[in-house]
């Protein structure tokens, strides 16, 4: 018989290897032999869309985030609603703000022509997000692949698993922790707001209906609030009205987001709240001062986020169309 201490050590090792098994099944260059043009084909489709509309980069990064935070990175965000089920993409958190579905569709169609049934939709999203970061001026990074596609997409999941723009720093920290991400990674990934845009409805309460004692959020710089009010008039109902997340460089993946927060120009409550905690405020300052450090940390955090709850091996499936489960 093994001594008790040895038994305990074996149990610890078994738990460790089980917890690491999903991660170890993802690997850089996963399609090197089965479909060696896979990443090139995805990048080509992303680049073509980006050249027509640079804003698509922000949409694809956000799509990856919204996919991974619900049921893991399994392309559940791509599934269409059916007569019996409303899918994630049709939730208020995703519609009409989530965009880039046609880029994924185009890449999948090309991949099915040359490598039928090989490349998962979940991997396509992960590749497309990486390519978007790079095209927007961020650091490129290797994407471990081998994800499989899930078969479930529920609108109800979006209500509890995605952070709304009203969250405070404690709520953000707790939600990211549930996904296995640290507080620092939360601050780092929030920097994705350096690119993209927002609908007025996501922050208008900060301008017109903040609290019973203050109509306007006092943490919002008055001149910035005035600009936002001119862009988003009170009572406006135009669903197409949007403003840039980072006005100084809305199409570039840089540290302008953190500089905005330090100047009390964070667009969302969930942005400006990063200054209300000593540790997160220190990270905001550090990122603002060191663009390369943030870019490097962001790349690492994207790789880690891309491994949340992945399906590998024989789990899930490789969808023929990213919008529907296989028949």
Task: Give the three-state DSSP class for 85.
Answer: strand
Residue tagged 């001062």 (tokens): 289
Q: What is the pLDDT of residue 324?
A: 98
Distance, CA of 70 to CA of 161 (rounded, Å): 6
Task: Give the three-state DSSP class for 79.
Answer: coil
Token output for 106: 């185009």
Whether residue 274 contacts residue 261, with contact meaning beta carbons closer than 8 Å, is answered with yes
Task: Give the three-state DSSP class for 27.
Answer: strand
Indicate which residues carry an active-site annotation: 66
* C-alpha angle 260-293-134 in degrees, rounded to nearest 5: 85
215 alpha carbon, distance to own chain's centre: 31
Q: What is the pLDDT of residue 238?
A: 86
* C-alpha angle 113-90-124 in degrees, rounded to nearest 5: 30
- Mean pLDDT, 10 residues at a time, the chain of 327 residues: 53 44 76 98 98 97 98 98 97 92 98 98 98 98 98 97 97 98 98 95 94 94 97 88 93 97 97 98 98 98 98 97 97
Q: What is the pLDDT of residue 14?
A: 45
Number of H helices, E strands in the chain: 14, 2
Whether residue 318 contacts residue 111, with contact meaning beta carbons closer than 8 Å, is answered with no
**CA-closest candidate to residue 182, choices 190, 112, 214, 107:** 190
Token output for 279: 């540790």
């Amino acid at each position: 018989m093994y001594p008790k201490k040895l038994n305990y050590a074996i149990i610890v090792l078994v738990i460790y290897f089980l917890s690491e098994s999903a991660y170890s099944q993802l690997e850089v260059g996963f399609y090197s032999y089965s479909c060696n043009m896979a990443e090139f084909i995805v990048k080509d489709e992303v680049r073509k869309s980006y050249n027509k509309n640079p804003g698509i980069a922000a949409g694809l990064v956000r799509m990856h985030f919204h996919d991974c935070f619900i049921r893991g990175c399994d392309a559940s965000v791509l599934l269409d609603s059916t007569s019996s089920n409303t899918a994630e993409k049709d939730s208020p958190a995703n519609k009409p703000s989530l965009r880039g579905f046609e880029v994924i569709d185009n890449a999948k169609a090309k991949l099915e022509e040359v490598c039928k049934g090989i490349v998962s939709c979940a991997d396509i999203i992960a590749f497309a997000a990486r390519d978007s970061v790079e095209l927007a001026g961020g650091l490129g990074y290797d994407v471990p692949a081998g994800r499989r596609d899930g078969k479930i997409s529920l609108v109800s999941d979006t209500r509890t698993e995605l952070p709304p723009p009203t969250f405070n720093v404690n709520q953000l920290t707790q939600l990211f922790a549930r996904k296995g991400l640290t507080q620092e990674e939360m601050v780092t990934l929030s920097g994705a707001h350096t690119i993209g845009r927002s609908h007025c409805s996501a922050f208008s309460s900060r301008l017109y209906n903040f609290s019973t004692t203050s109509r306007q959020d006092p943490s919002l710089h008055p001149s910035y609030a005035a600009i936002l009010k001119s862009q988003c008039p009170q009572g406006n109902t135009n669903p197409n009205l949007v403003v840039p997340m980072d006005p100084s460089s809305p199409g570039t993946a840089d540290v302008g987001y953190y500089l905005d927060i330090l100047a009390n120009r964070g667009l969302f409550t969930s942005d400006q709240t990063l200054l209300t905690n000593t540790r997160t405020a220190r990270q905001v300052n550090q990122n603002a001062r060191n663009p390369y450090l943030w870019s490097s940390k962001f790349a690492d955090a994207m790789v880690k986020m891309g491994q949340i709850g992945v399906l590998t091996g024989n789990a899930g499936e490789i969808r023929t169309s990213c919008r529907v489960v296989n028949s």
